[in-house]
């Protein structure tokens, strides 16, 4: 006779079986929707960390350390852009994250692309362009996507 033994779910024991009350979910969603935190200084901090990582790596542009540092900061920008009502930052950042993840490396050309992205993101932030439908965002995202696609095709 085969007996199946189910292990204890210790996480479930700690948090319990309950869910969330509808009022709690509504309150949380309202807090997200009415978020009035100024995202610009937050984004500029991450963009500064990108620049510092590039500078700190000097001529060693193809290091795993630089790849990891760039990806960490870019992923923060991508996630927080939408959370703080700047989907334009999320969309443009996603293009660069896709490039890094698809090639799983960094070289001089990718660093140049990341630096061009950083200038684009600063322009979006400076002009307070939040919407992905804004012509400036569309143009920057389109150009960035074209450059990334060409480079991925070249590397393949």
The pLDDT assigned to 1 comes to: 62
Dist. CA 131–CA 115, nearest whole Å:
22
30 within a domain of the structure (yes/no): no
What are 80's two structure tokens?
A: 């927080």
14 within a domain of the structure (yes/no): no
33 within a domain of the structure (yes/no): no
55 within a domain of the structure (yes/no): yes
Radius of gyration, CA atoms only, the chain: 20
4 within a domain of the structure (yes/no): no
What are 148's two structure tokens?
A: 């990334």
What are 92's two structure tokens?
A: 């443009």
Supply the CATH number for residue 147's domain. 1.20.120.160
The pLDDT assigned to 3 comes to: 76
The pLDDT assigned to 26 comes to: 86
Question: Under the phi-then-psi rule, with left for phi > 0, alpha for psi from -120 to 50, and beta for the rest, what region is 37?
Answer: beta
Number of domains observed in the structure of the chain: 1
128 within a domain of the structure (yes/no): yes
Residue 27, exposed/middle/buried by CB under 10 A (0-12, 13-18, 19+)? exposed
Dist. CA 132–CA 91, nearest whole Å:
7
The pLDDT assigned to 79 comes to: 94
Averages of pLDDT over runs of 10 residues in the chain (156 residues) are: 75 71 84 79 96 87 87 96 93 97 93 96 96 96 97 90
76 within a domain of the structure (yes/no): yes
Q: Which domain holds residue 134?
A: 38-155
């Amino acid at each position: 006779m085969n007996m199946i033994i189910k292990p204890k779910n210790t996480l479930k024991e700690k948090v319990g079986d309950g869910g969330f009350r509808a009022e709690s979910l509504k309150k949380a969603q309202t807090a997200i929707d009415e978020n009035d935190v100024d995202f610009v200084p937050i984004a500029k901090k991450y963009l500064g960390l990108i620049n510092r990582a590039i500078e700190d790596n000097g001529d060693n542009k193809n290091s795993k350390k630089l790849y990891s540092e760039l990806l960490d900061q870019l992923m923060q920008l991508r996630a927080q852009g939408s959370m703080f009502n700047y989907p334009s930052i999320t969309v443009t950042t996603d293009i660069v994250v896709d490039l890094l993840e698809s090639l799983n490396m960094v070289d001089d050309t990718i660093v140049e692309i990341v630096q061009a992205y950083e200038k684009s993101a600063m322009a979006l932030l400076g002009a307070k362009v939040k919407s992905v439908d804004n012509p400036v965002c569309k143009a920057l995202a389109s150009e960035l996507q074209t450059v990334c696609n060409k480079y991925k095709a070249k590397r393949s």
